[in-house]
Amino acid sequence: MVSNAARQLAGQEQPLQMPEKKTYRQPQTSPQPVRWSKFERFLVAAGSLITLVLMISLLSTKISINNQQRHLQDVQTQISKAKSSNTSSQQEIAELTSQSHLKSAAHKYGLTDKNSNVRNVNK
C-alpha cells in the first residue's frame, strides 16, 4: 500500500490575515523660519567684527605702503641729484687741475714753469 505521509488538508485552508497597517499622521508644519540661537548671533557678530577690523587694517597698511613708496622715490631723486652734482664737480676739478689750465693761470700771473723741478706724485 502506497501511502502518503503528508496529510492533505482539503478545504481547511486558513485565510491569510493581512497585518493592519498603522497610518501615522504627520503633523503639519507651517513654514516659519527658525530663530537664531544666541551662539549663532554671537558667531555672526564676531565674524563681522573680525572682517571689519581686517578690512580697515588692510586699507591702513596699503596707504602706509604707498606713503613709504613715495618717500622712497623722493629720497632716490635726491640721491640722483647729489650724484649728478658730484659728477659735475669732479669734472670741474679735473678741468681746473689740468696741465693746460695751470699753464694758462701761470702765464696770466707771469710765472714760469721749469720742467726739471716738477715731480709727479700719485696717491
Q: At residue 122, what is the residue type?
A: N
Q: At residue 79, what is the residue type?
A: I
**pLDDT, tens digit, for every residue of 9-18?**
555 555 566 6
> Where along the chain do its domains lie?
39-68, 78-107
**pLDDT, tens digit, for every residue of 80-101?**
999 999 999 999 999 998 888 8
The confidence score (pLDDT) of residue 33 equals 82
pTM for the model: 0.51
Angle at the Cα of 57 from the Cα atoms of 53 and 62, rounded to 5 degrees? 150
Bigger pLDDT: 105 or 19? 105
Measured torsion, CA atoms of residues 9, 10, 11, 14, in degrees rounded to the nearest 10:
30
**pLDDT, tens digit, for every residue of 11-54?**
555 556 666 777 777 777 777 888 999 999 999 999 999 999 99
58-87: average pLDDT: 98
Give φ, ψ of 85 to 5 degrees. -65, -40
